[in-house]
Amino acid sequence: MACTNFLKWWTTVEAKFKPKHEPYDEPRIFHDSFETYDFEPSKDEREAFRNHRFAQGRLRWIKKLMEKWKDQEAREWNERMQKRLAEITAAVERDKVLISLERAFEQRVKQIRDYYRCEHEKEAEAGDMRRREELARILKRINQDTCRLEREELTCRGVVRGRR
């Protein structure tokens, strides 16, 4: 990276560039002549370089803090979710008990309904049997009356055998 601005060159540090010694120990030549070039950095350039290193250190510190906070937030979120899961599980268990009680109640109600329906059908069938028996007696009397009337009529005409 060639830079014509000396201050920018001293303040720009790439991530891969990690010198074992100060970068101003080996100066880069960016002028045509050596008369205008100062091989030692000035006080302002050294201060700018120190400020840059300090800023990089602060940025690394902030990055570590952000990672720490991110991990802490993830842990707290996980704990909240675990608590919420426990609450939901407890509610489900309570609901299971209530649902089993409700099913038992519904089964008992169905059993009672079936019993009364069966009894109602038995009563209706018994009533039908009584009516059928009554109907059979009435039909028998009607048939007897019909036979008696026919016999009387036939006797009057003289058609009945054995009687003249």
More reliable by pLDDT, 38 or 60: 60
According to the model, what pLDDT value does residue 100 have?
Answer: 93
pLDDT by residue (tens digit) across 44-103? 888 999 999 999 999 999 999 999 999 999 999 999 999 999 999 999 999 999 999 999
Does the pTM of the predicted model rise above 0.75?
A: no
CB-CB neighbours of 48 under 10 Å: 16
Q: Where are the domains of the chain?
A: 1-41
Counting runs of H as helices and runs of E as strands, what totals does the chain give? 2, 0
Confidence of residue 164 (pLDDT cuts 50, 70, 90): very low
Percent of the chain with pLDDT over 70: 73
**Average pLDDT score, the chain:** 82
Distance CA 20, CA 11 (A): 17
Q: Is the pLDDT of residue 150 over 80?
A: yes
Lowest mean pLDDT among 5-19, 34-48, 117-131, 137-151: 5-19
